Amino acid sequence: MDPLSDVLDRIRLRGCVYFQRDFSPPWGMAMDAGPFAQFHLVVRGRCWLRAGETTRELATGDIVVFPFGAAHMLLDDPSTDPLPGLTVLAAHKKGRPIFDGQQDGARLLCGHFELDRDLKHPLLRELPALIHIKGMSAEQPSWLESAIGLLIRESASDQPGAATVVDRLAEVLFVQVLRAHLLASVPSRGFLAALKDRRMSNALEIIHDNVHTDLTLYAIARAAGMSRSSLALRFKEVMGVTPMDYVTGWRMQRAREMLRTTHGSLADVAERVGYRSEAAFSRAFKRVFDQTPGAFRRTTTGAVPAAGQAKA
């Protein structure tokens, strides 16, 4: 599994589509900050987005995602006073949509993504507060356009199981948006920057593929086609941590998931994240999470440091 897929597989992504709806002017929705990563797709027409200091016009095919659930507004005109988003959603669920009318406006598809925010991986820290992928332009890859088209068609369908299909397609959309963001961005540091660097990407791939083994710096360097000293220097420069700190951090994140979702013994969990000794695993886990694996399993709570950010 490639590193990005491995991380995305661990965030327990779940998609939910609220509605696909025509909005006749004047209309406006104000979404409060919340725990979910909300998204909006402009199926047809134009509208305005206001988020913090940002005000921009959205057009057909545009999609915006708020990975950290930031407050924002969608409006037919920047001067329109919006209604609370929950009020609009509640009216829609009751079959009494608020913004029906005769004037041509915009058609929107809205929903959210649920993420496991306890997974403190660099990828999630590096995402911007707003991701905006423009439609009808070279910035939107053809495969993203296809995913959007399928989601639009299914959300308008009355076929059996359509709601489940739509929610699963929303999850695909999140991954596609991340891929499009990765293609469009030019980060100099961090996990996304490492994915765009062939040697760093190779190093991350062997780490994520071999979390269950006694992985060494030499093996990682060989996969990256670098010397150990060159890898250590470059990895720290791009990722902000040493290769072995990242290995430990990711192992502990995987162990945390296993302790919370499986009933295997501590020795079994230790072996599955590359530790031959349960005692060594427990020491590493306590350095990262400030509690023993057994205590974590009993409580399933506590502060979770980022991958690679082991405590002293």
Number of domains in the chain: 2
pLDDT per residue as tens digits for the range 206-244: 999 999 998 999 999 999 999 999 999 999 999 999 999
For residues 222 and 167, membership in a common domain is answered with no
Q: What is the rounded average pLDDT for all residues in the chain? A: 88
For residues 172 and 201, membership in a common domain is answered with no
Mean pLDDT across 125-143: 77
pLDDT per residue as tens digits for the range 260-270: 888 889 999 99
Q: Which of these three, 154, 184, 214, is where a domain ends?
A: 184
For residues 222 and 288, membership in a common domain is answered with yes
Q: Which of these three, 184, 217, 240, is where a domain ends?
A: 184
Residue 136: predicted pLDDT? 57
pLDDT per residue as tens digits for the range 61-82: 899 999 999 999 999 999 999 9
For residues 165 and 229, membership in a common domain is answered with no
CA-based nearest residue to 126, from 190, 177, 39: 190
Residue 301: predicted pLDDT? 46
**Domain coverage including residue 249:** 193-299
Q: How confident is the model at residue 309 (pLDDT cuts 50, 70, 90)?
A: low
Residue 310 within a domain: no
Residue 216: predicted pLDDT? 94
For residues 41 and 180, membership in a common domain is answered with yes
For residues 17 and 91, membership in a common domain is answered with yes
CATH of the domain at 291: 1.10.10.60
pLDDT per residue as tens digits for the range 4-18: 889 988 888 888 888
Mean pLDDT across 245-274: 93
Residue 305 has pLDDT above 60, yes or no: no
| Rounded distance between C-alpha atoms, residue 228 and residue 312, angstroms | 24
Residue 302: predicted pLDDT? 45
Q: Which of these three, 145, 166, 184, is where a domain ends?
A: 184
Q: How confident is the model at residue 53 (pLDDT cuts 50, 70, 90)?
A: very high
For residues 178 and 254, membership in a common domain is answered with no
Residue 294 within a domain: yes
For residues 36 and 87, membership in a common domain is answered with yes
CA-based nearest residue to 195, from 10, 53, 8: 8
